[in-house]
C-alpha cells in the first residue's frame, strides 16, 4: 500500500464577514466563524503502480484531499500516509518522494527559462547527475521540449507550460505523483500527448498516480479504478467497468431497415423503441435482460436489416447521473445517448 | 540541511535583480537626492541650534548619509513575496518541495541584498561629490561597523519575516505593517539619531528596543559614539535580538505552516 487515507476530514474555518463598511468593521472584532466541511471521512488505499481517477463535481473536495496528501494542508481529523510517511508531519521528507502537477498554477519559475527551472529543481531535489541527464533526455524527446526550453516560462503557451510542468514534476523520479486537473484548458492534441505521457510513465516506471480531472476521457483512457466524491464524501470506489455495468445497463441499438416499416415494435421485455427517422430505428435495451444477439435475431426475423450499430453507455453520461442524483437511482442513460 | 539549493536560490535572486537595470539607476538617483536634501536640513538645523548631543555637524551628515546608504540594503524586503504567495495560494508550490521555506526566503533575500550592496559603491562614490563624509574613528571601528551592519541585516530580515508570516492568520495586515514601519523608522535611528531623543524613559526605551539593532548600532559605532568595550556590548545586544527575532520568526512560521489555509483550487 503506497497511499492510504483513513477517515480523512478537513474543515475550513473562515471568519464571517459582514457586508459593507460596518460589516467589515464588526467582523474585525467578532469571533463568528463559518465552518466548511470540505472533506468528510474519506478512506481509500492505493497499491504501488495504480493510476486512479479521483473525480467529483466542482467543490467536491478533490483538491483539498490532494493538498492533504502532499502535506500542505493538515487534516482536521483522520489520517493519511504516503509511502509510510505522514505528509503534514514530515512535509520535507514527503516532498522528496512526490511529484505534483496543478493544472491551475505552475511550479516552474516564472522569470527563468524552462531549462533553468529544471536546473534549479535539480539542486532542490539533489538529483544525481546521471539521473538528471537521463530524465532530461527522455522528457525532452517525449514531450518535445526543445522547441521552447530556452524560453522564459511566462512566455510559454498553456500547452507548452503544462509539458514543462510534467517534466518538472517527474524529474526526481518520484514514486507517487498527484495530478490536479492536468489537462485543463488543453486542446485535443495536447491532451492526448499528456495522456500518453502519463500512461507511459505509469507503465514504464511503475509510478503511482492520483488523477483529478473533469474530462472523463482522461479517466476512461487512463484509469481502471475511479474514486468518486461529492460534498466531501466518498460515493464510489471501484473499477470503471463495474460502474458501467452497474449504472449503465441500458444500451442503444440502431438498426437500418430495408423497406418501409410503419410500426417497428419488438415485443421482447426489456426492449423499448426510442425513435425512428426514416429507415433508422433506435432501440434501448437492458443488457441484463436481453443480449444484443437476441435482439438482432428477433429483428432479423421480422425485417430486412442493412446495418446495425450498438453503442456503449458513455462514462460521462453515467457520472452525470451520479452527480445529479447520487448512487441510489439506476441511471437512465438512454436519454443522454440519443 | 543541504546547503546547495539555498546557494542556488541566492544566485538566481542576484541575477534576477540584475535584469531590472533601470531600477538600479532610479534607486541610486533617489539616494543621492535624499543625501542632498538631508544634508541641507541638518546644516540648517545645526546653524540655528548649534551642536546637539555631542554629535558634530560633519558627524551628523556622515550618519545621515550612511543611513541612506544602509536603506539600500535594509530596504530589500525579500520576505514580502511570502505575503503575495499566501494571498494567492502559490505558497502551496513552495510547501510541497523538500526545502525550508524561511531559509529559501533568506537565501533569496541574501541574493537580492548582495546585488543591492553593489549599488552602494557607486552611490557612496557619487555622494562624496555632494557631502563630506568622516572616516570611521579607528580601523577596529570600521570592522565592527561591518559586523554590526551584518547583524542589523539579520534582525531586519527576521522582522520582515515575522510580519510576512502573520499573513497566515490574517490577510488584512496593511495597517499593522504601516504601524510597525513607522515605529521602526523612528526607533531604529534611521531618520534621527536616538541621541536626539529627550533623555529619560523614552530614550532608554529607544536604545533598548530591538529596532536600535538595525541602524543605531552600526552607525553609532561608525561615528564613534560607541567605543571600546561598548562596541562589544552593542554587538552582543544585536546578537541577542537577532536570536530572539529568529526564534520568534521560525516559531511563528512553524505554527502558521500547521494551520495554513491554501487559497484557490
Ligand atoms: N481556503 C479555503 N477556505 C475556505 N473554504 C475552502 C478553501 N478551499 C476550499 N474550500 C471549500 O472546500 C470545498 C472543496 O474545495 P476543493 O477545492 O477541494 O474542491 P474541488 O473538488 O477541487 O473542486 P474543483 O473541481 O472545482 O476544483 C469547496 O466547497 C470550497 O469552497
Ligand atoms: Mg480542485
User: Chain-wide mean pLDDT for chain A?
Assistant: 87
pLDDT at position B263? 66
What are the pLDDT digits (tens) for B109-162? 999 999 999 999 999 999 999 999 999 988 999 999 999 999 999 999 999 999
Examine residue B262 and state whether it is found in any structural domain, yes or no.
no
Rounded to an integer, the average pLDDT of B58-76 is 93
The rounded distance, in Å, linking the Cα atoms of B3 and B106 is 12
Quick one: pLDDT band at residue B264, thresholds 50, 70, 90? low
pLDDT band at A23 (very low <50, low <70, confident <90, very high): low
Mapped onto helix, strand or coil, the DSSP state of residue A176 is: strand
Quick check: B173 contacting A, CB < 8 Å? Answer: no
User: Does residue B264 fall inside a structural domain?
Assistant: no
Number of A/B CB contacts below 8 angstroms equals 73
Rounded distance, CA A191 to CA A298, Å?
42
Burial of B158 (0-12, 13-18, 19+ CB in 10 A): buried
Collapsing DSSP to helix, strand or coil, A10 comes out as strand
Pick from A67, A112, A126: CB nearest B12: A112
Task: Report the distance separating Cα B67 and Cα B217, nearest Å.
Answer: 11
Best mutation target among A27, A56, A73, A171 (most B Cβ atoms within 10 Å) is A73
Return the best residue to mutate from A12, A179, A185, A213 for the ligand 1 pocket (most ligand atoms within 8 A of CB).
A12
Place of cell 523612528: B186
For residues B57 and B65, what is the distance between their CA atoms, to the nearest angstrom? 12
**Residues, beta carbon < 5 Å, ion ligand 2:** A 63; B 265
Any domain includes B12: yes
CB A68 within 8 A of CB A38: no
Residue B78: pLDDT band by 50, 70, 90 thresholds? confident
How close, in Å, is residue B30 to chain A by CA atoms?
27
Site to probe by mutation for ligand 1, drawn from A64, A185, A319, A323 as the one with most ligand atoms within 8 Å of Cβ, is: A64
Interface touch A92/B8, C-beta < 8 Å: no
Chain B residues with CB under 8 Å of A120 CB are 5, 8-9, 12
Ordered DSSP codes for chain B: --SHHHHHHHHHHHHHHHT-HHHHHHHHHHHHHHHHHHHHHHHHHHHHH--BTTB-HHHHHHHHHHHHHHHHHHT--TTHHHHHHHHHSTHHHHHTSSS-HHHHHHHHHHHHHHHHHHHHHHHHHHHHHHS--PPPSSHHHHHHHHHHHHHHHHHHHHHHHHHHHGGGT-S--HHHHHHHHHHHHHHTTSSS-GGGSPTTHHHHHHHHSGGGGTTHHHHHHHHTSS-THHHHHHHHHHHHHHHHHHHHHHHHHHHHHHT------
Count structural domains, chain B. 1
Of A199, A181, A118, nearest to A153 (Cα)? A118
- What spacing in Å lies between the alpha carbon of A69 and ligand 2's midpoint? 14
More confident residue, A208 or B2: A208
Q: What is the DSSP letter of A100?
A: E
Decide: A251 and A284 in contact? Cβ < 8 Å.
yes
Segment (H or E) for A302: helix A292-302
For chain B, say whether A180 makes contact (Cβ under 8 Å). Answer: yes
CA distance B240 to B247: 11
Q: How far is Cα A116 from Cα A110, in angstroms, rounded to an integer?
A: 11
Is residue B60 assigned to a domain? yes
CB contact under 8 A, A71 and B96: yes
Report pLDDT digits (tens) over B185-217: 889 999 899 999 988 888 889 999 999 999 999
Domain assignment present for B69: yes
pLDDT at residue number A250: 76
Instruction: Give the pLDDT band of residue A331 (cuts 50, 70, 90).
Output: very low
Report residue A256's pLDDT band, with 50, 70 and 90 as the boundaries.
confident
Which B residues in the span 52-91 are in contact with A, Cβ-Cβ below 8 Å? 89-90
**Does B25 map to a domain?**
yes
Which of ligand 1's atoms lies nearest the C-alpha of A60? 21
- Residue B21 near residue B116, CB atoms below 8 Å: no
User: Which residue, among A269, A278, A274, A268, has the nearest Cα to A252 in the 3D structure?
Assistant: A274
Asked if the model's pLDDT at residue A165 lies above 70, the reply is yes
Evaluate whether residue B248 is within a structural domain: yes
CA B47, CA B139: separation in Å to the nearest integer?
31
Q: What residues have CB less than 8 Å from B138, skipping those under 6 apart?
A: none
- pLDDT grade, residue A29 (50/70/90)? low
* Mutate which of A15, A61, A181, A231 for ligand 1 pocket (most atoms within 8 A of beta carbon): A61
- If we measure between CA atoms, which residue out of A46, A63, A56, A52 comes closest to residue A10? A63
Q: What is the pTM of this model?
A: 0.84
Confidence check: pLDDT of A85 > 60: yes
Residue B125: all three cell numbers together: 562614490
Mean pLDDT computed over every residue of chain B: 90
Q: Answer whether A124 sits within 8 Å of B19, measured CB to CB.
A: no
* Whole-number Cα distances in Å, A203 to A47, A131, A197, A208, B113: 14, 19, 10, 10, 47
Q: Could you tell me if residue B37 is inside a domain?
A: yes
Contact B96 A72 (CB under 8 A): yes
pLDDT band at residue A27, thresholds of 50, 70 and 90?
Answer: low
Which residue, by CA, sits nearest to atom 18 of ligand 1? A61
The DSSP line for A181-238 is STTTT--HHHHHHHHHHHHHHHHHH--EEEEE-S-HHHHHHH-SEEEEEETTEEEEEE
Is residue B74 within 8 A of residue B153, CB to CB? The reply is: yes
Write the pLDDT tens digit of every residue in A65-77: 999 999 999 999 9
Concatenated DSSP letters for B7-24? HHHHHHHHHHHHT-HHHH
Q: Is residue A4 less than 8 Å (CB to CB) from chain B? A: no
Asked if the Cβ–Cβ distance from A72 to B262 is below 8 Å, we say yes
Hey, whose CA ends up nearest to atom 11 of ligand 1?
A: A38
The residue segments making up the domain with residue B65 are 4-257
Q: Are A311 and A337 in contact (CB under 8 A)?
A: yes
Q: For position A338, what pLDDT does the model report?
A: 29
DSSP A147: G
Amino acid at each position: 500500500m503506497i497511499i492510504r487515507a483513513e477517515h480523512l476530514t478537513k474543515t475550513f474555518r473562515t471568519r464571517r464577514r459582514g457586508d459593507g463598511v460596518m460589516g467589515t468593521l464588526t467582523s474585525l472584532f467578532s469571533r463568528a466563524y463559518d465552518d466548511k466541511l470540505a472533506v468528510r471521512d474519506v478512506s481509500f488505499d492505493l497499491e504501488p503502480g495504480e493510476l486512479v481517477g479521483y473525480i467529483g463535481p466542482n467543490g467536491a473536495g478533490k483538491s483539498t484531499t490532494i493538498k492533504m496528501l502532499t502535506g500542505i494542508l493538515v487534516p482536521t481529523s483522520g489520517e493519511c500516509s504516503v509511502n509510510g510517511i505522514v505528509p503534514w508531519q514530515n512535509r520535507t521528507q514527503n516532498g522528496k518522494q512526490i511529484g505534483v502537477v496543478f493544472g491551475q498554477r505552475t511550479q516552474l519559475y516564472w522569470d527563468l527559462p524552462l531549462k533553468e527551472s529544471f536546473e534549479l529543481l535539480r539542486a532542490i531535489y539533489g538529483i544525481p547527475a546521471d539521473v538528471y541527464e537521463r530524465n532530461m533526455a527522455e522528457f525532452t524527446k517525449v514531450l518535445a521540449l526543445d522547441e521552447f526550453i530556452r524560453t522564459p516560462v511566462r512566455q510559454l503557451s498553456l500547452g507548452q507550460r503544462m509539458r514543462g510542468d510534467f517534466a518538472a514534476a517527474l524529474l526526481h523520479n518520484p514514486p507517487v505523483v498527484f495530478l490536479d486537473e492536468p489537462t485543463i484548458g488543453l486542446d485535443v492534441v495536447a491532451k492526448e500527448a499528456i495522456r500518453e505521457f502519463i500512461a507511459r510513465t505509469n507503465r514504464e516506471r511503475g509510478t503511482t498516480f492520483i488523477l483529478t480531472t473533469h474530462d472523463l476521457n482522461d479517466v476512461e483512457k487512463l484509469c481502471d479504478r475511479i474514486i468518486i466524491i461529492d460534498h466531501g464524501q466518498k460515493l464510489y470506489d471501484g473499477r470503471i467497468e463495474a460502474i458501467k455495468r452497474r449504472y449503465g445497463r441500458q444500451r442503444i441499438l440502431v438498426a437500418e431497415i430495408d423497406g418501409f416499416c410503419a410500426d417497428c415494435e419488438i415485443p421482447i421485455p426489456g426492449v423499448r423503441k426510442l425513435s425512428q427517422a426514416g429507415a433508422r430505428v433506435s432501440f434501448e435495451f437492458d443488457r441484463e435482460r436481453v443480449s444484443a444477439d437476441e435482439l438482432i435475431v428477433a429483428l432479423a426475423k421480422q425485417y430486412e436489416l442493412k446495418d446495425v450499430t450498438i453503442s456503449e453507455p458513455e462514462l460521462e453520461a453515467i457520472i452525470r447521473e451520479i452527480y445529479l442524483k447520487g448512487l441510489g437511482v439506476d441511471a437512465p442513460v438512454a436519454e443522454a445517448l440519443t | 540541511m543541504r546547503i546547495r539549493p539555498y546557494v542556488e536560490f541566492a544566485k538566481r535572486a542576484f541575477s534576477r535583480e540584475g535584469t531590472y537595470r533601470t531600477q538600479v539607476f532610479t534607486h541610486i538617483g533617489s539616494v543621492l537626492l535624499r543625501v542632498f536634501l538631508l544634508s541641507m536640513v541638518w546644516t540648517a538645523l545645526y546653524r540655528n541650534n548649534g551642536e546637539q548631543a555631542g554629535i558634530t555637524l560633519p558627524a551628523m551628515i556622515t550618519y545621515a548619509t550612511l543611513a541612506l546608504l544602509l536603506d539600500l540594503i535594509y530596504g530589500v524586503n525579500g520576505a514580502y513575496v511570502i505575503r503575495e504567495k499566501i494571498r494567492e495560494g502559490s505558497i502551496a508550490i513552495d510547501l510541497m518541495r523538500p526545502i525550508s521555506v524561511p531559509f529559501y526566503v533568506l537565501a533569496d533575500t541574501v541574493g537580492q541584498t548582495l546585488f543591492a550592496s553593489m549599488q552602494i559603491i557607486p552611490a557612496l562614490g557619487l555622494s562624496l561629490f555632494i557631502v563630506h563624509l568622516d572616516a570611521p574613528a579607528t580601523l577596529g571601528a570600521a570592522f565592527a561597523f561591518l559586523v554590526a551592519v551584518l547583524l542589523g541585516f539579520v534582525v531586519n530580515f527576521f522582522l520582515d519575516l515575522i510580519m510576512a508570516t502573520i499573513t497566515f492568520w490574517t490577510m488584512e495586515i496593511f495597517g499593522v505593517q504601516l504601524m510597525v514601519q513607522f515605529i521602526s523608522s523612528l526607533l531604529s535611528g534611521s531618520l534621527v539619531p536616538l541621541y536626539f531623543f529627550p533623555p529619560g524613559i523614552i530614550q532608554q526605551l529607544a536604545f533598548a528596543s530591538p529596532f536600535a539593532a538595525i541602524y543605531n548600532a552600526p552607525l553609532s559605532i561608525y561615528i564613534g559614539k560607541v567605543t571600546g568595550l561598548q562596541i562589544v556590548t552593542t554587538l552582543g545586544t544585536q546578537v541577542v535580538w537577532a536570536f530572539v527575532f529568529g526564534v520568534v520568526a521560525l516559531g511563528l512560521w512553524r505554527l502558521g505552516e500547521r494551520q495554513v489555509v491554501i487559497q484557490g483550487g
